[in-house]
Amino acid sequence: MTIAPTLNEQLARARADLRMGVPVVLNGSDPVAFVAAETLDPDRLRSLRAVSDESILTITARRAETLRARAYDGDVARIRMPADADAAWVRSIADPAGDLMNPMKGPLSSLRTGDASAHRVAVRMVKSARLLPAALVVSVPDAASFAAEHNLTILDISAAGEALDERSPLHSVVSARLPLEVSEAGRLHVFRPEDGGEEHYAIEIGRPDRSRPVLARLHSACVTGDLMGSLKCDCGPQLRAALAKMGSEGHGVLLYMNQEGRGIGLANKMRAYSLQDEGFDTVEANHRLGFEDDERDFRLGADILRSLGFSAVRLMTNNPAKTSMMQSCGLDVTERVPLHVGHNPHNEAYLETKHRKSGHLK
């Protein structure tokens, strides 16, 4: 038995540090300290730049494409920080909010040699903290000594990278009866991941027969649509229509997954909305922010359904990617149940983009 934190607990601690603007140390053959560009303040920038002769701002290839910067490392670009660059410059590279007002950010000089492993892990860590996917990275002479001197969280580069590749196991926390408008025979199950991430929920309607395909929906949390009645998406109407259908059939399971904004978080989703107001569609906005089209992990939904005892589903979705993921995770999708509701003039372009670029079915 050990009292020291496990790797998952260290990763959770590191995410909290990054959200507060505190650097994290990565130990390996080329040890570094890094901090999220979004939460970097001028004082900490000056202190970090004094540590190393060269400061590197690492961004995703998607963001690099917008900035016309070379991504020699494939999925990331390591940009040399100019000697006179300040915290505002770092923010302008990470955040596309000012791109149209100040499109000329360069010329940006990207590193093409050297090991990018630590930089890649740094960006993935920042992304997993639901921040803009950009990190300021500086080399440190000795990771353990530097972390101890400044009381910083230290992670092994290889171990952290492997952990970020894996999905965290989910454990049932509690379930309780929950009468709903659509059915008095409702029950809410709460699942918590081992990595300290957000909890996910399963709303069970009736007592579905585990030996038969269950009517199911994987619904990603949408604060604006589900709670506020936003007309920019169809999430709220889909949520209510799915529950209503389960209520009318007398059984079903709705998985409410805390993967807001296609997995980028509410703050970044609002940034994407701002970019949409400038004329970019939903996919283009995500790319300008440095994210992929969809950052969600549907495998978590399959894990929950299996833990509840289901092996086959009638899946309520317009997204073929959900169907494919369920099947690849060993769940038999016996039927795709369309869910076409919530169309209005405000989300017409959004729904068309989902159909044209993300393969959603009409």
Starting at the earlier edge strand, list the strands of the sheet with 200-205: 170-177, 186-193, 200-205, 252-257, 214-220, 312-316, 332-337
- Out of 95, 226, 294, 303, pick the active-site residue: 294
Beta bridge partners of 62: none
- What string of DSSP letters covers 215-269? EEEEEE--IIIIIT--SSSSHHHHHHHHHHHHHHHT-EEEEEE--HHHHT-HHHH
Determine the Cα–Cα distance for residues 335 and 314; give it in Å rounded to an integer: 5
d(CA 260, CA 274) in angstroms, rounded, equals: 16
**Is 44 marked active-site?**
no
DSSP single-letter state for residue 12: H
272 Cβ contact partners less than 8 Å away, ≥ 6 residues apart: 261, 264, 282, 285, 286, 289
Query: Residues 69-94, buried b or exposed e (16+ Cβ, 10 A)?
Result: bbbbbeebbbbebeeebebeebbbbb
296 is catalytic: yes
- Pairing verdict, β 32-36 and 170-177: unpaired
Backbone Cα Rg of the chain: 22
3-class DSSP string for 106-165: CCCCECCCCCCHHHHHHHHHHHHCCCCCEEEEEECCCHHHHHHHHCCEEEEHHHHHHHHH
Residue 98 gets which letter from DSSP?
G
Q: Catalytic pick from 296, 299, 306, 332?
A: 296
- Which residue from 250, 178, 259 is spatially nearest to 208, judged by alpha carbons? 250
Picking from 198, 58, 200, the residue whose alpha carbon sits closest to that of residue 115 is 58
| Cβ neighbours around 334 below 10 Å, total | 12
**Which residue, chain included where needed, has tokens 């540590």?**
51
Q: What length does the chain have?
A: 362
Instruction: Kindly list the catalytic residues.
Output: 294, 296
